[in-house]
Chains A and B, each alone.
Chain A
Amino acid sequence: MADIAFESLTRWYGESAQRTVLEGVSGHIHEGEFVVVVGRSGSGKSTLLNLLGGLELPSGGTVRVDGIDIASLADRDLTALRRRRMGFVFQAYNLIPTLSVADNLRLPLSLNAIAETDQVEQWLARVGLPGRGSDWPDRLSGGEQQRVAIARALIHEPEVILADEPTGNLDLENAERVVALLDGLCREQGRTLIMVTHAMEVTGMADQLFTIREGRLVSADNPVPAGVM
């Protein structure tokens, strides 16, 4: 199981540090934890998630997964790390529109060379979409698409799930359902879940809460200060 430690994480864009979106952020995420990252739009929370998931590399500082600095990995190894040990859920679902629901779920299995038995049907049932494997993504509602995205993120049993505002495009009822699903599935299997969200009600479920303001970590493990959200 993955242990993620990050120290003095800094990320800027362009050629200088003028457009710094994250600065000096440190923390430690233990295996099996549910971590929530909150902050205003543009505060740098998605950037933190991307850095932790190896989707981009820091301009300064380190992210260590089980003690290995991911910035030191070659692209091939970093890709393999994401493929095997991580699962991503995006705000815009990002299902592959040209693949059926079932094939979207098969994708991580195929990439990890995991033999397919009945995982696809099982996961569809788990996310409440039994028998919808042959549907095309754009024939599903937003909530249904996000549930498929969750199943796709978990089907190959990764150690860490990174969810970037997974409820951002959903109504309240669907948002609650998706968060409960993610939390339940991760806890059931002992996965680490790192979620960036605006949903205040989620913070109460978190093992750790990171609050980001203007690129800096203003609190960890503390209740959300008034006026931050």
Chain B
Amino acid sequence: MKRLLLRSGRSDLRRHPLQTGLAIVGVAIAVGVVVAVDLANYSAREAMRVSLESVTGQTTHQIVAGPQGVNESLYAELKTDYGVRSAAPVIEGGLTLAGKQRRPLTLLGLDAFAEGPFQRPLGSSDGLGEAFNELLLSDQAIALGQGEAKRLGVNVGDQLAVQIDGLVHRLTIAAVVPDPEDQARGLVLADIAAAQTLLGRDGRLDRIDLILTDAKAQTLSAVLEDKKARLVPAAANATSVLAMSRAFQVNLTALSLLAVVVGAFLVFNTLGFLAVRRRPSIGVLRAMGVQRREILWQVLGDALLIASIGTVAGLALGYGLAHALVGLVLQTVNDVYFERAAGELVLSQWSLAAGLLVGLGGSVLAALAPAREAAATPPRAALSRADLETRARRLAKRAGILGIMALLMGAVVIAASTGLIAAFVGLFALILGAAFLAPLIMLGVGTMLRPLVRGRPIGGLVVEGAIASLSRTGVAVAALSVAVAAVIGVAVMIASFRGSVIDWLEGSLAADFYITAPGEFSDQQADRLADLNGVEFISRSRWYSLPTADGPVEIWALGLPAGRHPEVELRQGEPKAAMQAFANDQAVLVSEPFAARREVTLGDRLTLPKAQGKSVFRVAGIYRDYASPTGVVLMRRDLYERLYADSRIAGIGAHVSAEVDREALRDQLEIQLAGVPGARVIDNAAVFTQSLVIFDRTFAITEVLRWLAGLVAFVGVVSALMALHLDRLREFAVLRAIGLSRGGLAGVISGQSGLLGLVAGLWSIPLGIALAGLLVFVINRRAYGWRMGFDLAAQPLMEGVVLAVLAALLAAIYPAWRAARMPPTSGLRGER
């Protein structure tokens, strides 16, 4: 009997290849999206971890000093006077490939004699082999990891043209070091002395890496206070970078989970339909004495079969998709969080396990309810369709109540919490609530439309056809509305964010020209620019990443002439008082993300380390900033100079008078900068455009994911509606027999689908707006500390509705074509 039951189930799947195929595709896409996003996230994390480790190795602590670096004599003292055995001097600086490629690389200067215990992929004398001597003796010799050499297309003995501080250097590749994990990606190794020369930092080190016990670290820490240096944990930087990028990755994971929610609806829908379709035969089997349990296993077994094939296909799809996504994720990570995160797809067993769980577990769970219901079919003729639909309507009402409860729960969770994860829990409760309400909405709309089509049987066919099959249409409407809401919500969020960034750029790009150089400017050079005719005044900026025990703090030291204030928009703090404090006191302005991350509020005292000891600053204001998710401390330049003994200038903003000939002035500026290697004068409009290009690039992955969620819903709605229409072929055959033309029939089928799409689209508008509101006001606030405006335009809402209707209409094409093409007699005989 069991074998016959199994055969009957398999035969049903084979006899409905389209529906079976769609179910498999649905599972595959849901699994694929989850696996792809998880793999891409994991790969990005791995890339960052590997990149961070490649320059820190086994380092436990680092000795750092001010912006000028550590005096190299300290290194010798550590070895001789303080008995620190595992210490290695490090110089780290940026260089770019000369020529068209202009790819940025990191020059890492190490002492090969000291490298042994640190186990960095490059640098130890073991790895360098015979090239060790050459590297020591030449200022132009470098070593590369095997992977990087391959990417650059160079070998030992070749020359590599690079630019450092605007000057071109031809470096000779002395060694290519085995690097199986490609840990040294983006790194160029030179001897410490050579790196000092190349980077113009003779006598200075960026840091000294150490391997210390905590006790030794404490002792050393006390000693260092007199040496104008500090000890910081080596992990602080890596932890900080990984923690910041985590918020971004949580966002991505949430988006992928959205695809799972939609995919789960889809699986539920398809497998539910499988059970409904089998009701008549199940009724017969039950009458013949087949136990409920056996029916349950038959349906679950078939669900598992579909899920297994779908999951395997999904894993393969996810792997392929991840190849495309990892580039986009890394692009955003590079643009926003960490410049040297570059890598390839790394397989994670957890990602694959998540895919298996979603595919197999999700499918069996989704099939459980319909399978139980099918097994409960009484052992007589199957329930009438009307009974089934009556039950569906009753269920729709119950689901509606559940939906309202989920909405309330979501609201309470969001209101009562402050964390990001809780915000996502609330968000998902909202989505589930709205999805549960969708069938009731469909019922409500149908009831409202009923009087309009009374006495119009063709119109009645459209409306009643849509609402009378609530058991099939309810879930499809739910899935479609959730996916379209996600499309709308994310679009509104991105538009809001973009609008805020534009607004912010317009306010903060106050200078007419921005002048940068790979190296630095002196005050004399800046003065010459300030003296040019037409230049009203210039701002002098210096950015310094201050190492602290809690990770680096970005300091923006801004020098302005007397009477001028930073062009920042204060979110907290009375502007006049804040600017006065900024200009005169030991006070700083901090960006919103900094305030959110470090839990700093207006008037707080902020303690920051300086070369020797610590300084306390009053937070005079909190300003809007979207440039750095890690946050920025804006400090008066003379205060910074005094505390950190650093008078270098990295950027100059030229404010020009309104009547000046901008092009002519630009030429003048460039002439004045002729002696500064690589100096560039950029119009503020170009900065504006470039900023938006980067903004759009960082949201490319979000865009891809929202469309993937849409795709899952599209497959879902196609599957659900196709199943619905194929189920009604007999009805369509009757209509054809009594004289409804092919076009008329296609119109009825499309009308039913279109109505479902319209209801889903309209329902997705409030849900989409609510989602956008949550993303803008809660998620982004909690993840990054960003507050932004809410830019609600009609276009994304209209696009959402059009998308829903279009998806539904597309889903109707095949059934309409098939119903119209099928001879009425085939439909009447019940042939599919």
Q: Footprint of B on A, CB under 8 Å?
A: 50, 53, 55-56, 75-76, 79-80, 82-84, 86-88, 90, 92, 94, 96-100, 102-104, 106-108, 110-112, 116, 136, 138-139, 152-153
The residue of chain B having its C-beta at the shortest distance from the C-beta of A97 within the complex is: B385
- Complex interface: stretch among B145-153, B554-562, B730-738, B753-761: B730-738
In the complex, what residues of A have CB within 8 A of residue B828's CB?
Answer: 55, 90, 92, 94
Q: Report yes or no: B468 in contact with A79, Cβ–Cβ below 8 A.
A: no
In the complex, what residues of A have CB within 8 A of residue B461's CB?
Answer: 96, 98-99
Q: With A79-B736, A98-B731 given, can you name 17 additional A-B contacts, CB distance below 8 Å?
A: A55-B825, A55-B828, A56-B823, A80-B739, A83-B740, A88-B737, A90-B828, A94-B734, A96-B734, A97-B468, A100-B460, A103-B455, A103-B457, A104-B457, A106-B456, A107-B738, A139-B386
Picked from A50, A55, A96, A112, the residue with its CB within 8 Å of the CB of B735 is: A96
In the complex, what residues of B have CB within 8 A of residue A107's CB?
Answer: 457-458, 735, 738
Q: Give chain B interface residues in 260-307, CB to chain A under 8 Å.
A: none
Q: Does B213 contact A (CB under 8 A)?
A: no
Q: Report yes or no: B455 in contact with A106, Cβ–Cβ below 8 A.
A: yes
Q: Report yes or no: A138 in contact with B385, Cβ–Cβ below 8 A.
A: yes
Q: How far is the CA of A38 from the CA of B744 in the complex (A)?
A: 35
Q: Report yes or no: B386 in contact with A99, Cβ–Cβ below 8 A.
A: no
- Using C-beta atoms within 8 Å of the partner chain, give the interface range for chain B: 20 to 34
The residue of chain B having its C-beta at the shortest distance from the C-beta of A82 within the complex is: B739
In the complex, what residues of B have CB within 8 A of residue A102's CB?
Answer: 455
The residue of chain B having its C-beta at the shortest distance from the C-beta of A138 within the complex is: B386
In the complex, what residues of B have CB within 8 A of residue A112's CB?
Answer: 739
Q: Report yes or no: A108 in contact with B739, Cβ–Cβ below 8 A.
A: yes
In the complex, what residues of A have CB within 8 A of residue B739's CB?
Answer: 79-80, 82-84, 86, 108, 111-112
Q: Report yes or no: B737 in contact with A152, Cβ–Cβ below 8 A.
A: no
In the complex, what residues of B have CB within 8 A of residue A98's CB?
Answer: 460-461, 464-465, 468-469, 731
Q: Report yes or no: A88 in contact with B738, Cβ–Cβ below 8 A.
A: yes
Q: Give chain B interface residues in 449-484, CB to chain A under 8 Å.
A: 454-458, 460-461, 464-465, 468-469
Q: How far is the CA of A152 from the CA of B738 in the complex (A)?
A: 9
Q: Does B362 contact A (CB under 8 A)?
A: no
Q: Report yes or no: B457 in contact with A106, Cβ–Cβ below 8 A.
A: yes
In the complex, what residues of B have CB within 8 A of residue A79's CB?
Answer: 736, 739-742
Q: Does B384 contact A (CB under 8 A)?
A: yes
In the complex, what residues of B have CB within 8 A of residue A92's CB?
Answer: 828
Q: Does B824 contact A (CB under 8 A)?
A: yes
In the complex, what residues of A have CB within 8 A of residue B740's CB?
Answer: 79, 83, 111
Q: What are some 18 contacts across the A-B interface (CB < 8 A)?
A: A53-B737, A55-B823, A55-B828, A79-B739, A80-B739, A83-B740, A87-B738, A90-B734, A94-B730, A94-B731, A96-B461, A96-B734, A100-B460, A106-B455, A107-B735, A110-B456, A111-B740, A139-B386
In the complex, what residues of A have CB within 8 A of residue B464's CB?
Answer: 98-99
Q: How far is the CA of A106 from the CA of B454 in the complex (A)?
A: 10
Q: How far is the CA of A83 from the CA of B54 in the complex (A)?
A: 80
In the complex, what residues of A have CB within 8 A of residue B823's CB?
Answer: 55-56
Q: Report yes or no: A83 in contact with B738, Cβ–Cβ below 8 A.
A: yes
The residue of chain B having its C-beta at the shortest distance from the C-beta of A153 within the complex is: B738
10 closest A-B pairs by beta carbon, nearest first, are A83-B739, A98-B464, A98-B468, A138-B386, A107-B457, A94-B734, A103-B457, A106-B457, A82-B739, A55-B824
- Min distance, Cβ B380 to any Cβ of chain A, angstroms: 16
- Min distance, Cβ A10 to any Cβ of chain B, angstroms: 16
Q: Report yes or no: A76 in contact with B460, Cβ–Cβ below 8 A.
A: no
The residue of chain B having its C-beta at the shortest distance from the C-beta of A105 within the complex is: B457
In the complex, what residues of B have CB within 8 A of residue A88's CB?
Answer: 737-738
The residue of chain B having its C-beta at the shortest distance from the C-beta of A51 within the complex is: B825
Q: Report yes or no: B385 in contact with A108, Cβ–Cβ below 8 A.
A: no
Q: How far is the CA of A50 from the CA of B737 in the complex (A)?
A: 10
Picked from A55, A104, A116, the residue with its CB within 8 Å of the CB of B455 is: A116
Picked from B386, B460, B730, B737, the residue with its CB within 8 Å of the CB of A82 is: B737
A138-B384 in contact given A75-B742, A111-B740, A152-B738 (Cβ < 8 Å):
yes
- Min distance, Cβ A58 to any Cβ of chain B, angstroms: 12
The residue of chain B having its C-beta at the shortest distance from the C-beta of A100 within the complex is: B460
The residue of chain A having its C-beta at the shortest distance from the C-beta of B462 within the complex is: A98
In the complex, what residues of A have CB within 8 A of residue B460's CB?
Answer: 98-100, 103
Q: How far is the CA of A92 from the CA of B731 in the complex (A)?
A: 11
The residue of chain B having its C-beta at the shortest distance from the C-beta of A112 within the complex is: B739
A50-B457 in contact given A97-B385, A152-B738 (Cβ < 8 Å):
no
The residue of chain A having its C-beta at the shortest distance from the C-beta of B823 within the complex is: A56
Q: Report yes or no: B741 in contact with A76, Cβ–Cβ below 8 A.
A: yes
- Min distance, Cβ B697 to any Cβ of chain A, angstroms: 50
In the complex, what residues of B have CB within 8 A of residue A53's CB?
Answer: 737
The residue of chain A having its C-beta at the shortest distance from the C-beta of B733 within the complex is: A94
Picked from A97, A99, A136, A138, the residue with its CB within 8 Å of the CB of B457 is: A99
The residue of chain B having its C-beta at the shortest distance from the C-beta of A120 within the complex is: B455
Q: How far is the CA of A75 from the CA of B742 in the complex (A)?
A: 8
The residue of chain B having its C-beta at the shortest distance from the C-beta of A53 within the complex is: B737
Q: How far is the CA of A84 from the CA of B385 in the complex (A)?
A: 31
In the complex, what residues of A have CB within 8 A of residue B458's CB?
Answer: 107, 110-111
- Min distance, Cβ B452 to any Cβ of chain A, angstroms: 13
Q: How far is the CA of A104 from the CA of B739 in the complex (A)?
A: 13
Q: How far is the CA of A104 from the CA of B731 in the complex (A)?
A: 12
Q: Report yes or no: A96 in contact with B825, Cβ–Cβ below 8 A.
A: no
Q: How far is the CA of A116 from the CA of B456 in the complex (A)?
A: 11
In the complex, what residues of A have CB within 8 A of residue B736's CB?
Answer: 79
Q: How far is the CA of A100 from the CA of B731 in the complex (A)?
A: 14
Q: How far is the CA of A104 from the CA of B464 in the complex (A)?
A: 12
Contact with A along B747-773 (1 / 0, CB 8 A): 000000000000000000000000000
- Min distance, Cβ A81 to any Cβ of chain B, angstroms: 8
- Min distance, Cβ B119 to any Cβ of chain A, angstroms: 73
Picked from A82, A99, A103, A116, the residue with its CB within 8 Å of the CB of B738 is: A82
A55-B737 in contact given A94-B828, A138-B384 (Cβ < 8 Å):
yes
In the complex, what residues of A have CB within 8 A of residue B731's CB?
Answer: 94, 96-98
By CB atoms of chain A within 10 A, which of B455, B468, B828 has the most? B828
Q: Give chain B interface residues in 763-807, CB to chain A under 8 Å.
A: none
Q: How far is the CA of A84 from the CA of B454 in the complex (A)?
A: 23
- Min distance, Cβ A229 to any Cβ of chain B, angstroms: 23
The residue of chain B having its C-beta at the shortest distance from the C-beta of A116 within the complex is: B455
In the complex, what residues of B have CB within 8 A of residue A76's CB?
Answer: 741-742
In the complex, what residues of B have CB within 8 A of residue A83's CB?
Answer: 738-740
Q: How far is the CA of A103 from the CA of B465 in the complex (A)?
A: 13
Q: How far is the CA of A110 from the CA of B744 in the complex (A)?
A: 12
In the complex, what residues of A have CB within 8 A of residue B457's CB?
Answer: 96, 99, 103-104, 106-107, 110
- Min distance, Cβ B197 to any Cβ of chain A, angstroms: 85
In the complex, what residues of B have CB within 8 A of residue A96's CB?
Answer: 457, 461, 731, 734-735
- Min distance, Cβ B151 to any Cβ of chain A, angstroms: 60
- Min distance, Cβ A132 to any Cβ of chain B, angstroms: 16
Q: How far is the CA of A90 from the CA of B384 in the complex (A)?
A: 19
In the complex, what residues of A have CB within 8 A of residue B734's CB?
Answer: 90, 94, 96
Q: Give chain B interface residues in 608-667, CB to chain A under 8 Å.
A: none
Q: How far is the CA of A112 from the CA of B741 in the complex (A)?
A: 11
In the complex, what residues of A have CB within 8 A of residue B454's CB?
Answer: 103
- Min distance, Cβ B756 to any Cβ of chain A, angstroms: 14
Picked from B468, B744, B825, the residue with its CB within 8 Å of the CB of A50 is: B825
The residue of chain A having its C-beta at the shortest distance from the C-beta of B739 within the complex is: A83
Q: Give chain B interface residues in 795-832, CB to chain A under 8 Å.
A: 823-825, 828
The residue of chain A having its C-beta at the shortest distance from the C-beta of B458 within the complex is: A110
By CB atoms of chain A within 10 A, which of B458, B731, B735, B738 has the most? B738
In the complex, what residues of B have CB within 8 A of residue A50's CB?
Answer: 825
Contact with A along B705-746 (1 / 0, CB 8 A): 000000000000000000000000011001111111110100
Picked from B386, B456, B730, B744, the residue with its CB within 8 Å of the CB of A136 is: B386
- Min distance, Cβ B747 to any Cβ of chain A, angstroms: 12
By CB atoms of chain B within 10 A, which of A80, A103, A153 has the most? A103
Q: How far is the CA of A97 from the CA of B740 in the complex (A)?
A: 17
In the complex, what residues of B have CB within 8 A of residue A111's CB?
Answer: 458, 738-740, 744
Q: How far is the CA of A123 from the CA of B460 in the complex (A)?
A: 20
Q: How far is the CA of A82 from the CA of B741 in the complex (A)?
A: 10
